[in-house]
Structure 1
Amino acid sequence: MSELGPEDLKIVTLARSARARTGAAEGAAVRDTDGRTYAATTVALPSLALTALQAAVAAAVASGAEGLEAAAVVTGADALDAASVAAVRDLGASAPVFRADGSGAVVETA
């Protein structure tokens, strides 16, 4: 993997922190086109299920974000969830989506 810039490292760190703080299966963070960041974790309720990345995108949209520059998810999964990546693509067609392991090491970029 190539070196991430400081802004991309920030969203990986935010995603990792959100996951650690709650003990969730995943943590995610997105950066909008104004430079604001939004972090979230997996939502697993009887009536609502969202991946961490879907929840972070929802938080950005609910705050008025009109576009996304980048996204990161910290997960133990072997691949990015297609529906989660699609949610990012709805607001940022070319936004990189970083998948990192629990240590914060980026193992995939979509």
Structure 2
Amino acid sequence: MTEPTPESAATPTELSAEDRKLVTLARATRARTGAAEGAAVRDTDGRTYAAATVALPSLQVSAVGVCVAMAVASGSRGLEAVVLLTDAGSVSDGDLAAVREFAGADVPVLVGDPRGAVGGSTAS
């Protein structure tokens, strides 16, 4: 797992309005489903996708993985930002690889706790 880098500008009150929207979407999705993680992404057209971890006996997909799959299936051409809310405190290498493969390097990935307090970021 890749540990996020703490940033002084990583608190929700200091995020852009667009990034605060992603935090709200990820938090609501996680709370509604009771899942381990909630995530939201914004694509290069400004569309947002929110998802929770899928943990079925026959199918396991991370919240970020579901968001990337939704964006790809919707015809998106890339991502501008990713938010992951998790107890784990970091984003998995697999999730970073999926974001990087789809959207390239340097997509900001903000990582926060389940309440939506963003504690750091990393790049894809």
TM-score (norm 2): 0.85
Partner SS state of residue 107, structure 1: strand
Alpha-carbon offset, residue 102 of structure 1 = 1.6
Which runs of 5 or more residues in structure 2 are unaligned? 1-7
Partner SS state of residue 30, structure 2: helix
Is the contact between residue 84 and residue 110 of structure 2 (CA under 8 Å) also seen in structure 1? yes
Corresponding residue of 1:107: 119
Distance in 2 (alpha carbons) for counterparts of 1:99 and 1:56: 15
Which of 62, 68, 77 matches 1:51?
Answer: 62
Higher relative contact order (CA 8 A, sep 6+): 2
Corresponding residue of 1:73: 84
Which runs of 5 or more residues in structure 1 are unaligned? none
Q: Select the structure of larger CA radius of gyration.
A: 2
Which of 21, 31, 38 matches 1:20?
Answer: 31
Higher alpha-carbon deviation: 28-37 or 88-97:
88-97
Partner SS state of residue 120, structure 2: strand
What's the C-alpha RMSD, in Å, of the aligned pairs? 1.0
User: Residue type of the partner of 1:94?
Assistant: D
Would you identify which runs of 4 or more consecutive aligned residues in structure 1 move more than 3 Å? Answer: none
Corresponding residue of 1:98: 110
Higher alpha-carbon deviation: 54-63 or 91-100:
91-100
Deviations 1:15-48 (A, max 9, x none): 0110001110100000000000000100111221
Identity of counterpart residues, as a percentage?
58
Q: Aligned pairs, how many?
A: 110
Corresponding residue of 2:73: 62
Is the contact between residue 37 and residue 114 of structure 2 (CA under 8 Å) also seen in structure 1? no
Partner SS state of residue 91, structure 1: helix
Partner SS state of residue 102, structure 1: coil
